[in-house]
Amino acid sequence: MRALRLPGWKSEPELVEVAEPTAGPGQVVVRIGGAGACHSDLHLMHDFEAGAVPWNPPFTLGHENAGWVHDLGAGVTGLEVGQPVAVYGAWGCGTCDRCRVGVDPYCENPAAAPVPGGGGGLGLDGGMAEYELVPDARHIVPLPEGLDPVQAAPLTDAGLTPYHAIRRSWHKLAPGSTAVVIGVGGLGHVGVQILKATTAARVIAVDTRPEALKLAEECGADLTLRSGEGTAQEIRAATPGGRGADVVLDFVGADATLRLGAAAARTLGDLTIVGIAGGTLPVSFFSVPYEVSIQTTYWGSRPELIEVLDLGARGLVRPKTTTFPLDRAVDAYRRLQDGSVEGRAVIVP
């Protein structure tokens, strides 16, 4: 079968022929219907080097996958060949306290995981191929009626990651509250939709690109702002009494966006860093508003993925997608890098 593989750190992916996988005991092979191209894959190609993470190339890219059950290993129950499914992408040990409740990204026994801190497309073979081997059936989530694999694939990361970040702050997003989304790209535009679908907050979207702000409006943002020197003041001016944003979600994570988030946050607010652009934010007693919580998040849980897929099936959250055939997957990443992909790029083998 064909697969898009990363041969080494700081290298371009290659479309090559590899053996078709077969399911061993407890495993599932998924025929891929859609595989999302994530901006974090660009970091794997261009920025990471040996020692940055506890795994190394070569491996097939694609950690955002959905399709149909193709092969079931011995002992797998509750699934049928041909059934449409999503793949939960973080693969932990399965036995620690975190994994047992479905929070594999925060696995506390990584030495026993299939690949420490990773999963399919992150150290092990992912879904940028005709088939993907999933090492444990617990990572398979049946798709609800009305949601096909091309729509579902980006929800497994571009939907799940912002959903987890927003869900942890639901108690601060009551009527009268304000949420700010910084960066309206593949994850940020879905974050706007999730905020509108699951909270009563007024949503302000911030980006440097006019086309991104237009997309934010289409996704339901109440106000869009072009990022610049006075953006923090504009955000505060748009909140009751100029008090600032109750929740700021930074989908970029650069120095400038972190400073913006801290400057725009309300006392007792949340500043959640989702983007991995490598920025830093000096924190001291007087550098941020009192009792602002600053945290990072990584992906989300299996139970949360089930909730996200339900939102997708009901039409409340629909990532904007641009599809590419597998033989144009490299082109999809090039367009992702130059910023010409609107929403999420999805590879359809």
What confidence tens digit (pLDDT) does each residue in 317-328 have? 999 999 999 999
- Between the CA of residue 240 and those of 202, 228, 335, what are the distances in Å? 11, 22, 40
User: What SS3 string covers the chain?
Assistant: CEEEEECCCCCCCEEEECCCCCCCCCCEEEEEEEEEECHHHHHHHHCCCCCCCCCCCCEECCCCEEEEEEEECCCCCCCCCCCEEEECCECCCCCCHHHHCCCHHHCCCHHHCCCCCCEECEEECCCCECEEEECCHHHEEECCCCCCHHHHHHHHCCCHHHHHHHHCCHHHCCCCCEEEEECCCCCHHHHHHHHHHHCCCEEEEEECCHHHHHHHHHCCCCEEEECCCCHHHHHHHCCHHHCCEEEEEECCCCHHHHHHHHHHEEEEEEEEECCCCCCCCCCCCCCCCCCCEEEECCCCCHHHHHHHHHHHHCCCCCCCEEEEEHHHHHHHHHHHHHCCCCCEEEEEC
- Average pLDDT value for residue range 263-279: 96
The string of pLDDT tens digits covering residues 145-199 is: 999 999 999 999 999 999 999 999 999 999 999 999 999 999 999 999 999 999 9
Handedness of CA 183, 119, 301, 83 (dihedral sign): positive
* pLDDT band for position 243 (cuts 50, 70, 90): very high
CA atoms within 13 A on the CB side of 59: 23
Q: Is this structure's pTM higher than 0.85?
A: yes
Beta carbons of 64 and 321 less than 8 angstroms apart: no
* pLDDT band for position 244 (cuts 50, 70, 90): very high
Query: What does the block give as tokens for 170?
Result: 């639901």
Give the span between the Cα atoms of 254 and 251, in whole angstroms: 9
The string of pLDDT tens digits covering residues 275-327 is: 999 999 999 999 999 999 999 999 999 999 999 999 999 999 999 999 999 99
> What is residue 221's predicted lDDT score, i.e. its pLDDT?
98
> What is residue 335's predicted lDDT score, i.e. its pLDDT?
95
> What is residue 46's predicted lDDT score, i.e. its pLDDT?
93
CB-based burial of residue 53 (10 Å sphere; 0-12 exposed, 13-18 middle, 19+ buried)?
A: middle
> What is residue 73's predicted lDDT score, i.e. its pLDDT?
98
- Average pLDDT over all residues of the chain: 96
The label of the residue with tokens 């729509």 reads: 151
The string of pLDDT tens digits covering residues 62-117 is: 999 999 999 999 999 999 999 999 999 999 999 999 999 999 999 999 999 999 98
> What is residue 101's predicted lDDT score, i.e. its pLDDT?
97
Domains recognised in the chain with CATH numbers: 2-157+300-348 (3.90.180.10), 162-296 (3.40.50.720)
Beta carbons of 37 and 336 less than 8 angstroms apart: yes
